[in-house]
Amino acid sequence: MHILIVKLSSIGDVVHAMPAVAALRRAFPAARLTWAVERLAAPLLLGAPGLDEVVVLDTRRWRRQWRARDTHRQIADCLAKLRQSPVDVALDFQGLMKSAAVAWYSRARRRIGFATAALREKPGRFAYTEQVAVDRREHVIQTNLRLASALGAPLPETYEFLLPSLEAEQARVAAQVAAHGVDGAFALLNPGGGWVTKRWPPADFGRLADWLWAEQGLASVVSYGPGEEPLASAIRAAARIAPVVCFSTTLREYLALARQATVFIGGDTGPLHLAAAVGTPIVGLYGPTAAERNGPFSRHDKVVALDLPCRADCHRRTCQQHICMNMSVAAVAQAVEARLRDIR
């Protein structure tokens, strides 16, 4: 049996689909598993155990340069890969028009997606031969597992993440951390987020870094993605006594960095989900999104969120008030202290 997994992006979404794909591999050890993914998230899957093939798409670039001859060649190559081995079942974990189109184009006899009410783009339902009902209140990992269970994969008791070997990245990251003068335990701070409404103020991160150093003996490492360097610099400027190290990483280096961290502190964004995948203790800062659905899944991890009526089903990417991320440094420090007690 050849199973096509369609989960194109984003980083956190790809991570959240991994336990479902691991469940498929356990249930069907002889099956061929192919994963279609966008270029930016592909490093998380290339070389990952349990996958037979990764088909890398670059739809963002294709849309920007749709007239270029090279774009047409790349699209043709990707589509040819989807069809080079007959697909029996396509599972669309994304719920978008483009992901449904990938499932449809694979010519799989069975194309399974979520129930129409759960789709982000409802017309995608026309590409499916079957749909699976979900509970929007449950964690998204459980939702993805329901799609895998439609093929008969048992629901696992613990989550397994298909991650590539990180030996080389661990060595590089350890050397980089040491080169910046951090020779002991450290906290990993993440000020970024795809939406501005998910971001805790850098000045508060700076004050938290001082508390981590003075009360917990933890230096702070701030890793940043494209366009986020000013946020990292603002944290370093706000800290008065704490050593704060800032540098950028690749996706795989970030996994290695998170694995070495004592605790992760940050909002609902890709780095939090990467840290969760490698088992890093987490304190999540949640504003416009629900931790019950998108938060860390370990029962030991902590979430800080304000009790505001406007937070329910918010998901706003911009907000004139934007008060949901106004949690105090003291409240976050208390959550960090509680999380660290569980591991010491």
pLDDT tens for 273-322 read 999 999 999 999 999 999 999 999 999 999 999 999 888 778 899 998 88
Q: Does domain 2-149 have CATH number 3.40.50.970?
A: no
Question: CATH topology of 2-149 equal to that of 167-341?
Answer: yes
Q: DSSP secondary-structure letter at 137?
A: T
Q: 60-108: per-residue pLDDT in tens?
A: 877 777 777 777 788 778 878 888 889 999 999 999 999 999 999 999 9
Q: What are the pLDDT digits (tens) for 195-234? A: 999 999 999 999 999 999 999 999 999 988 888 999 999 9
Q: Cα separations (Å) of 227 from 149, 194, 231, 247?
A: 39, 11, 9, 13
The answer to pTM > 0.85 is yes
CATH of 167-341, one of 3.40.50.1820, 3.30.310.50, 3.40.50.2000, 3.40.50.300: 3.40.50.2000
Q: Where are the domains of the chain?
A: 2-149, 167-341
Q: How far apart are alpha carbons 39 and 42 in whole angstroms?
A: 5
Radius of gyration of the chain (CA): 21
Q: Specify whether the backbone of 116 is left (phi greater than 0), alpha (psi in -120 to 50) or beta.
A: alpha
What is the DSSP code string of 315-339? --S--SS--TT---HHHHHHHHHHH
